[in-house]
Structure 1
Amino acid sequence: MGSTVMSETPEITDQLIWIAVDWGSSNLRAWGLDQHDHVIARATSDKGMLSLKADEYEAELLRLVGDWLPTTGQTDVLVCGMAGARQGWLEAAYLPVPTRLDQLSQGAVPPTLTGDQLRVYLLPGLSQTHSTATHFDVMRGEETQLAGLVADSPDFTGLACLPGTHAKWATLEAGAVSGFSTYLTGELYQLLATKSVLRHSVGSDELQDPACREAFIAAVSEIYAAPETFSSRLFGLRAQDLLDGRLPTGDTRGTVLAARLSGLAIGLELSGACRGRPIEQSITLIGNQALCQRYTLALNTIGYQTQHVDGDAAVLAGLQLAHQALKAANC
């Protein structure tokens, strides 16, 4: 049973005011916060939604944070992510866009608890249905990271991208999400690299080598200019491995081809997400540094500038914003 607990101070129970939790499919992260919203304790667990039944969430949460809790009273717990999914702890129904990100707590739901130490609120995700009823989309967890983006800028307007297995692109207008799209880029890359004929050519995926960066940039440019050639260029990657004597030998060969595959996949995503957007509009990337650096390289290739917000910092700021709104509503 994998879990890690780290205290910022030896006197957690005397200072703890509330707990923030990001509960994903594969793991969960918890932060204990004091009256000034400073983090005084941290904990992680590999017990994500995929490994829990609905009646097991409370026990797992108490196992992780029980030592932080005061001996009397109830402690607020704000939870975002897959714990609020239909197959999670209790469904927190999606809020349809447009939705103000400082109002996510209005859709929070409290699961029934067997104990009286906690007062838990599960935050909702966001949903989108176009008028044609042919384009449905949802997000759960990313909306809280977006809320973190507007925590310090309530009227933020712009385009934000959250790279990942299922990359999200959200348009924000005056602190509200007005629309968003999901791209299966990360999952598509993994399937192509490990389950298709390309598995015989593709190696490890990293961009440190100059040849890998060059292959990635070239692929982004090619597919952004002609996205309709995506399928053909995928098979061309396999043919290149068989025929191109200019490719390096050894492990570097597979790494260069992996970089090209990554560039094709991300370039295809950008062709849908960025086409027609003003080139002078900076794009905000939210997520881990390595992946955001890759997207920055791709976006710079087609002419866009970026700014980066750390994913962990964003989700914590979003949970803090939701807790503040919840306190104000209950006053």
Structure 2
Amino acid sequence: MTNEQSRPLAWVAVDWGSSNLRAWGMDQQGNVIAQSSSDKGMLSLKPDEYEAELLHLISPWLPASSRVEVMVCGMAGARQGWQEAAYLPVPTPLGQLSQGAVMPTLTGSQLRVYLLPGLSQTRSDSRHFDVMRGEETQLAGLVADTPEFSGLVCLPGTHSKWATLDSGAITQFTTYLTGELYQLLATQSVLKHSIGSDALNDSACRAAFIDAVSEVNAAPETFSSRLFGLRAQDLLDSELPVGKTRGAVLAARLSGLAIGLELSGACQSRPSDEPITLIGNQALCQRYTMALNAIGYQTHYLDGDTAVLAGLKLAHQALPH
């Protein structure tokens, strides 16, 4: 917990995920004057426990008398969370997320809480259903500084999101189960006997990753056979290094296959002269930059924490005051 309160607290920004909670105390000019976090995410809380947990985290910042507004994004607004903030259908202007916010009933009088909605997509022509909750606020953070932003944005993660933005509005998006798929294959399939630590920390690992991305991107129909080929390579390839490096190279190749398959869908028919914006964790975005560069795309990067805080500011500014 850090606290640099030399200026009065104006409101509180909160990112409430499945496994953790982060809060920032904001002054009237939108500067962070305090911040704190806990491991009390949605998965460890019942609906009637959210208010107490939030107060436990931010009560040192609160003034003695006035009520403080709290803007919350993420899983606190899920059906299993504090109170459901129903999904807004796309297309949606990202500067208007707070119009779909809900206000949970509170037992105390210190806070006025707004839970931001997620976004949904239903395309009956292709039976394509999709949802996001939390990433929409990061996308709002992107358009906070560039209100008319248009382009393709990738938010890498356990469930990677690819969103198309047009003049500051999200028009469509697709989720890829890439991170979870990698974890399942690496730990619960026959490949677990071959896969080691995945760090891309040497030239052999980086080369294996890039080669795998390029191979499966060019021929996505070979994905399943190339997966089993990892096990066979471990058994038969005398040129693979020994020891921990062997497992690391095969892990890098598995990561490249999974991400390469994602890119073959997400970048299909996408002009290579239009850069793709990446939002999220720096290390993971660097990995996606390496993969995208390998198939001919350039990228821009926005830090995920910076984006979510900018998105919460934008949503707070849009509230009627």
Q: Which residue of 1 aligns with 2:185?
A: 192
Alpha carbons of 1:257 and 1:60: their partners in 2 closer, same or farther (altered >3 Å)?
same
CA shift for structure 1 position 25: 0.0
Q: Which residue of 2 aligns with 1:65?
A: 58
Q: Which residue of 1 aligns with 2:235?
A: 242
Q: Which of 306, 310, 313 is the equivalent residue of 1:313?
A: 306
Q: Which of 77, 92, 103 is the equivalent residue of 2:85?
A: 92
* Percent identical: 76
Amino acid paired to 2:2: M
Per the alignment, in what secondary structure is the counterpart of residue 73 of structure 1?
coil
CA shift for structure 1 position 131: 2.3
Q: Which consecutive aligned stretches of 4+ in structure 1 deviate over 3 angstroms post-superposition?
A: none
Q: Which of 197, 201, 223 is the equivalent residue of 1:204?
A: 197
Superposition TM-score, scaled by structure 2 size: 0.99
Could you report, residue by residue, the CA deviation over 1:121-176 in whole angstroms, capped at 9, with x for unpaired residues?
A: 00000000002261100000000000000001111000000000000000000000
Q: Which residue of 1 aligns with 2:2?
A: 6
Q: Which of 162, 173, 176 is the equivalent residue of 2:166?
A: 173
Unaligned runs of 5+ in 2: none
1:143 aligns with 2:121: no
Tell me, in whole angstroms, the C-alpha distance in 2 between the residues paired with 1:8 and 1:234. 51
Q: Which of 156, 160, 167 is the equivalent residue of 1:163?
A: 156
Q: Which residue of 1 aligns with 2:253?
A: 260
Could you report, residue by residue, the CA deviation over 1:14-56 in whole angstroms, capped at 9, with x for unpaired residues?
A: 6100000000000010000001000000000000000000000
Tell me, in whole angstroms, the C-alpha distance in 1 between the residues paired with 2:252 and 2:297. 20
Per the alignment, in what secondary structure is the counterpart of residue 15 of structure 1?
coil
Per the alignment, in what secondary structure is the counterpart of residue 145 of structure 1?
helix
Amino acid paired to 1:15: P
Per the alignment, in what secondary structure is the counterpart of residue 182 of structure 1?
strand
Q: Which residue of 2 aligns with 1:278?
A: 271
Q: Which residue of 2 aligns with 1:304?
A: 297
Unaligned runs of 5+ in 1: none
Amino acid paired to 1:106: Q
Superposition TM-score, scaled by structure 1 size: 0.96
Tell me, in whole angstroms, the C-alpha distance in 1 between the residues paired with 2:126 and 2:69. 38
Tell me, in whole angstroms, the C-alpha distance in 2 between the residues paired with 1:107 and 1:39. 25
Amino acid paired to 2:4: E
